[in-house]
Structure 1
Amino acid sequence: MKAIVHRDPGGPDVLELVERDLPTPGPGEVRVRVVVSGVNPADTQARSRATTGFAEVTPHLDGAGVIDAVGAGVDEGRVGQRVWLFMAAAGRPTGTAAEFTVLPAEQAVPLPGEAGFDVGASLGVPALTAHRALTVAEDGPRRLRPGALDGMVVLAAGGAGAVGHAGIQLARWAGATVIGTVSGPEKAALATAAGAHHVVNYREGDPAAEIRRIAPEGVDIVAEVALGANLALDLAVLRRRGTISTYANDGGKPVELDVLQHMVLNTRLQFLVLYTAGPEARAGAVEDVAAAVRAGALPVGEEHGLPLVRFPLERTADAHRAVESGAVGKVLVDVTS
């Protein structure tokens, strides 16, 4: 089979297209013929700095395809099942940038027939991270379903990014009023297409006043992608006992906390990453995201607010360069037809 591998950390040039033997699923595992592989910032970061302990690694956490073999203890009826994959390369050398991959059966989630492989490959890190961001508020739910966020206001910072896009879609599916903040008209159009009820350009006018006009009592949950840059705005619009769920710090601006201000607001500042979220939180997120997919709530494509940027498997290095250069939308690698 064809696979992308790297043996040492470094830039995109360390990625190499090779031929490898077909992997065999072990107990509790499935083998998946990968159709589409999703590329996330986490994948480029792992490639650039991680020491994995493996002789070589096939990158990428997310993807979608068809189960073609199962290991001992896995229902043989799953052979032929369309699935979306998450955390495939987490602590393992077998990510989704290959024609076939093996992973634990529970990390291959059934993909309904009406959902394409592009949708499946775009879930994983973005959708599960967005779910976590929406389910850690003191006064909010721990699980998502229609009505779970009724009466709540969610602010998706960077609403045109992959996690912001999934956050908008999940929050709207769960009943929240959704506000997206963006940097310009192009991204405003994408956030609106994703389902945001309101979009605010944080580079124009008085964004805090505009958000307060929409939500006079303040925002319940902020799903934050650039905490250092946006913290002042977040605090200006957060309601008492509101939550700032931060999953990144784009731009790398240092974060300075006014402790008294946070104390007065009873702010919950929640940092999150999937790897350490815990198995119970991840399992709940997978179930809820799968339900949202079945409901048709997580479509992708420019018409749905998430343009798709595609590369063939042999150009996986270019896919990584696209992610690192801030490509708007979701970067995908087409693996097999």
Structure 2
Amino acid sequence: MKTFLKSIKTIYIYHWIIWLVLIAFKLIMDYSVFGQFALLMNLKIFLFSILFFYLNYKLFLPYLIKQKPRKITIIVVSFVVVYVALMIFFIPHFPQHPQGRPPFPPNDFPRPDRMMRFRKGPDFHDIFFKIGLFSIVFSTLIFFVDKWRENQKMIKALEFERQSSELKILREQINPHFFFNALNSIYSLSITQSTDTPRVILILSDIMRYVLNDKNGQKNNLNDEIINIKKYIEIQSIRFNKFNNINWQFYGNFEAYKIEPLLLLTFIENAFKYADFKKGPLDILIDLKDHILKFNVKNFYEIKPSERTDNNKLGIKNTKMKLDLLYPDKYNLDINDNGSEYEINLTLQLD
């Protein structure tokens, strides 16, 4: 509320500054011609202008846009009639600068050689008609420009609210999906009674703590995300006993940037889920230079492409939606599938 009142106050300060500048400029221009009479003349003109401007801007137009078309026509016609009547019956009563010979006292009448050429007095009908018309047109223009700006702000606010809601839903979908796959990893180790099970549970608890540490929708430090990815790779390496068949390379100053949580991990998780290590290694590359992050993950698989698409549709689809919401025009995602090898290339511009 305070911010709104402050913005309104600022707007009207600008209004008064503009009015004062216009009045001062008009007085300076007219004083050399009409002398002291310019003060009275311009005072009346600008009072008339300000009256019409704000009556139209604050009362007439706000009321008009809420009415039905037929009623709008009646109101506009009535307004024109009142305006014309005002021009005919009210304006002539304004004192005008005398036309013809100036009203000098007989004894003070200047000599012909010292007299300046006297200009014809202003036509107040013409002046007030033009000023009134200008005030109405200008206030109407400003009114609709302000309305357009308000609508744009409202659209942006609604869009931001929509995106926030969608992002919240996506995060709520991804977290259970991640935990389900992580529990499968522990289950696989427990069946074989692996001695690594306690260690995997401990690492997984760290990952879960990181995943559940929701910072009110804020992005996480990229270095924390990389540490979390390394822990996940370690769990999967123990699970598959494939330390020599998992290649990962991470380069860059990760501390300096932030990223959406689990954005990269979703792709890595998907690669481990469908990887066939008998056919070839699983490769992961993260390369950060300046503010451009290049991410590549590649794995071989043996299931049919159609089955793969059905199974991993939710995770990949949600990640694409997150990229669209959080990094519009700041990313490029290529997914290549040749029937036996699945590769993801992501180029992401970080803030």
- Name which structure has the greater RCO, CA cutoff 8 Å, separation 6+: 1
Please state which structure has a larger fraction of its residues in strand.
Answer: 1
Larger radius of gyration between Structure 1 and Structure 2 = 2
Please state which structure has a larger fraction of its residues in helix.
Answer: 2
- TM-score for both structures, normalised by structure 2: 0.22
- TM-score for both structures, normalised by structure 1: 0.22
